[in-house]
Amino acid sequence: MSTHWNWQTGERLLALNDPAEWDAAFERGERSLGTAAIGLAFNCSLEEASPRIVRAMQLPDVAQRGFAFTAAGTAARLNGALTPELYAALRAEGPGRRSIAVNAIDDTLTFVPFRRLPTWLKCWSVVSRVRNKLDAWRLNCTYAATDTWRAVRRR
């Protein structure tokens, strides 16, 4: 067992490069497993990191689960792809704006080529772009109306 990882504070866990150490910490019920999953995403192959990231996504601690989703986004950035298990975990969490997975999904849409995305994520990409465009139009109309109202009131 390595003694240079501080599981209580999370210190040095972003440098974690040993999947077996993560597995042992998971069995011991250590804290900061989500933080360590980010380290695995940085320092290990996607195939090695993926099952641990998926397990971290199911942790009871919401903050550590959030870090696990950050690890998924990091994996997408670094590899230009995700494993089927990671795509399934992102889909299970849901792509909505209030989802804990929203940033990981955004990173995936940004860094994974569209043709390599699963069908559900391609559809979400289109829905998301349309929604963003509609929001931009709505805001432009709101600003125009507000500016017009202010101009009329000053007369």
Per-residue confidence (pLDDT) for residue 96, from 0 to 100: 77
**Mean of the per-residue pLDDT values for the chain?**
93
DSSP class of residue 100 equals T
Per-residue confidence (pLDDT) for residue 9, from 0 to 100: 87
Per-residue confidence (pLDDT) for residue 95, from 0 to 100: 80
Per-residue confidence (pLDDT) for residue 129, from 0 to 100: 87
Per-residue confidence (pLDDT) for residue 79, from 0 to 100: 97
Give the burial class of 13: count Cβ atoms within 10 A of its Cβ; 0-12 exposed, 13-18 middle, 19 or more buried. Answer: buried
DSSP code per residue over 41-69? HHHS-HHHHHHHHHHHTT-S-HHHHHHHH
DSSP class of residue 112 equals S
**Mean pLDDT for back-to-back runs of 10 residues, the chain (155 residues):** 74 93 95 95 97 97 95 97 97 87 95 96 91 92 94 87
Tell me the Cα Rg of the chain. Answer: 20
Per-residue confidence (pLDDT) for residue 2, from 0 to 100: 47
Counting residues of the chain whose pLDDT is more than 70, the rounded percentage is: 98
Per-residue confidence (pLDDT) for residue 3, from 0 to 100: 52
**Angle at Cα 74 formed by Cα 73 and Cα 78, nearest 5°?**
120
Q: 34-37: which pairs have CB atoms within 8 A and are 24 or more residues apart?
A: 34/59, 34/61, 34/63, 34/64, 34/65, 34/66, 34/67, 34/68, 34/70, 34/71, 35/10, 35/64, 35/67, 36/5, 36/7, 36/10, 37/67, 37/68, 37/71
CB half-sphere exposure, 147, CA atoms < 13 A: 6
